[in-house]
Structure 1
Amino acid sequence: MSRRQLYAAGLTRAEVRANVRAGRWQTVGRHVIVLHTGPIDALTALWAAQLSGGPRARLDGASSLIAAGLEGFDVDRHRVSVPRGARVFRDRLVDVRQTRRWREDDLYAGPGPARTRTEVAAVRGALWARSDRQAALLLTMVVQQGIVPAERVGRALLQVRKAPRLGLVRDVVTDLVGGVRSLAELDFAGQCRARGLPEPSRQAVRRGPRGRYYLDVLWERWRVVVEVDGIQHAWAEEIVGDALRHNDVTLEHLTVLRLPVLGLRVAADEFFVQIERALTDAGWARREPAAA
């Protein structure tokens, strides 16, 4: 409970202080009292963070997503949003900040600590992430774990007109919606040209023991294949089919590299170093520009 709630329930400041000093209760941050002295679990920490911000505070970003059930994503401090004019501070548990995007209808109306609606929190969590990689990871985990559908995240993203990293977040959300696989392959071809790599074939047809299939990117001369994996390829129902196709291609003595769409967004340089190495090992030689 917050100190404000305890005082409203009739306890005096002296009584609260006496229970804490006697070891019956413990403090969490500046303004929250936990009414036991045992370990503080994840849900208690979420409640404490939200209560720390005051009566209009709400969990936001990744913290709101954790309250909604997101697993496997850790935060250093819980992010709490308050309207303009409210008190802000930061301690080891919570980071309370004002937000200019404060809207009453962004509040989740269900049980638990007050928090921002899940799709809005997903967008904000990605925009506030420490890095592009963390932003992409957060969005992917939210959709894969069924916390919120990608389409709802996309609709929430339409409310954001200007923000750092907005372009990347739009690209990742579009990938999650599933409508940009071919566009990612076009992006790949453009990257090849910009990096001086030979132009590949796209959607090359092959036949294997399980019928006809398509290779996303193929350099026939050097027998190098790159498979551009959309978000859906990480889901359980795609894994077996992808593995069988990968093995069929490998048995044709082709070098197969995998490039997740997210990798094209946030780690292109590292992946293209591998691609160039595969082409070089197969006999391709970069042409140096002629001397003037």
Structure 2
Amino acid sequence: MPTRTERAALAQLEHHRRHRLARALAVPHDGVVTLRMLRRSGLSRGQILVEIERGAWRKLGVHTVQVDDLGPKAPWWCALWESGASAVLDGATSLEAAGLTGWTEPQLHVSVRNGGIVRDLEGVRHHRLRDIGPSVRQGLRRTRPEVAVVRAAQWATSDRAAATLVAMTVQQRLVGVEALLERWESVGYSARRQVLDEVIRDVCDGAHSLNELDFATACRERGIPEPTRQVLRTGPKGQVYLDVFWGEFGVHVEIHGTQHYQGTAVIDDALRVNDLGLRDRDLISLQIPVLGLRTQPEPFFRQIRQALDEGARRAGRAPRPPAA
């Protein structure tokens, strides 16, 4: 019969064996495994329970066990395993899993088939859908980027966030413009139909979709004089922008196409730069991201009005009335 020392040594060896085995299983999943994986590897329920009760491993749900340090993908695996076999990452979470950078989503988005029984999970928003749509089934199950970006834009908390997600996804080349347009055209109802129609067209076609008549009409609707000259140009690196001039007031507005659009900060940056530009002693020059005009137009049109008033003051005259 083994001595106490020998039994302790054997127990220690068994402990190390279990942990080596569990960690090897967890490597592809950033520190987590399922109970089924552990059982299939040869561990008994009792052996698994011992490690959990000792605090060496930690249950994260009905199916998921943490057996090593958690990596950034661990919450995604946990959300999928706890949501059932039909579950897929969707929306912004699917885009992050596909490689989207520069975006932080407060919730994990998981889609499941409508009618399925799914437990509520902290930090996870479940979307029950009749048709989950095309998805990637190997590794982290997730909807394809063209599906995910359209849903992410519809589930976003604001029009600005929706525009940001669409622009960043295209710019980071996670989805092609043809696939995005085809998917958007297949969507029936959307609470953001108008704004997303405009944003997706802007992102896929550059500033060409914001033509002279669009901008002149927007000015006229707000009582702002129409520009005296507008020119659509292409920059040295394919950067498309629309130059707008009010020559008699010394005001120039440069409207940047979506090639300039990098994350949510660009709108705030433009507003801040414009505030500085309004204090210029010569030409007053403003810059406006085209998606800012789509999702947050009023602050920019207020700055245009302020620039025209300031230009008129410097020239010793009041701004002309808007065109009829």
**TM value normalised by structure 1:** 0.80
Corresponding residue for residue 149 of structure 1: 176
Cα separation, partners in 2 of 1:140 and 1:45, compared to 1, 3 Å: same
Q: Is the 8 A contact 2:167 2:261 kept in 1?
A: no
Contact 1:88-1:98 at 8 Å conserved across structures? no
Give the number of aligned pairs: 261
CA RMSD of aligned residues (A): 2.7
Instruction: Give the structure 2 partner of residue 191 of structure 1.
Output: 218
Are 1:163 and 2:190 an aligned pair?
yes
In the alignment, is the contact (CA less than 8 A) between 1:178 and 1:230 conserved in 2? Answer: no
C-alpha deviation, 1:60, in angstroms: 0.4
Q: Tell whether 2:63 aligns with 1:31.
A: yes
User: What residue is the counterpart of 2:297 in the other structure?
Assistant: 268
Larger of the two Rg values belongs to structure: 2
Distance 1:192 1:260 in 2: 16
Separation in structure 1 between the aligned mates of residue 182 and residue 297 of structure 2, nearest angstrom? 27
Aligned amino acid, residue 27 of structure 1? K
Offset of residue 45 of structure 1:
1.8
- Do 2:153 and 2:166's aligned partners in 1 also have CA atoms closer than 8 Å? yes
Contact 1:185–1:216 (8 Å) recurs in 2: no
Q: Residue 127 of structure 2 is aligned with which of 97, 115, 118?
A: 97
Could you say if the C-alpha distance between residues 34 and 165 of structure 1 is closer, same or farther in structure 2, counting changes exceeding 3 Å? same
Residues 1-292 of structure 1 mapped to structure 2, 5 A cutoff: 1-6=33-38, 13-36=45-68, 38=69, 40-103=70-133, 106-109=134-137, 111-178=138-205, 181-204=208-231, 216-234=243-261, 253-283=282-312, 284-285=318-319
- SS of residue paired to 2:248: coil
What is the CA-CA distance between 1:47 and the residue it aligns to?
Answer: 1.4
Q: 1:123 to 1:71 in 2, by over 3 A?
A: same
CA shift for structure 1 position 233: 3.1
Partners of 1:149 and 1:204 in 2: CA distance: 28
Letter in 2 for 1:87: I
Q: By how many angstroms is 1:153 displaced?
A: 1.2
Larger helix proportion, structure 1 or 2?
2
The Cα shift of 1:199 comes to 1.3
Give 1:182 deviation, angstroms. Answer: 4.9
State the TM-score, normalizing by the size of structure 2: 0.72
Question: Structure 2 vs 1, CA of residues 205 and 22 (structure 1 numbering), >3 Å: closer, same or farther?
Answer: closer
Q: Give the counterpart letter for 1:48 in structure 2.
A: C
Partner SS, residue 102 of structure 1? coil
Q: 1:221 aligns to what SS in structure 2?
A: helix
Preserved contact between residue 251 and residue 285 of structure 2 (Cα < 8 Å): yes
What displacement does 1:32 show? 1.6
CA separation of 1:58 and 1:126: change in aligned 2, threshold 3 A: same
Query: What are structure 2's unaligned runs of at least 5 residues?
Result: 1-32, 234-240, 263-279, 313-317
Identity %: 39
Deviation, structure 1 residue 23: 1.9
Question: Bigger shift: 220-229 or 143-152?
Answer: 143-152
Offset, 1:184: 4.4
Cα 1:130–1:215, aligned 2, differ >3 Å: closer, same or farther? closer
State the Cα distance separating 1:28 from its structure 2 match: 2.4
Aligned AA for 2:120? R
CA contact (8 A) 1:49 1:93 kept: no
Answer yes or no: is the 8 Å Cα contact 2:207–2:258 preserved in 1.
no
| Distance in 1 of aligned mates of 2:160 and 2:232 | 33
SS in 2 for 1:125: helix
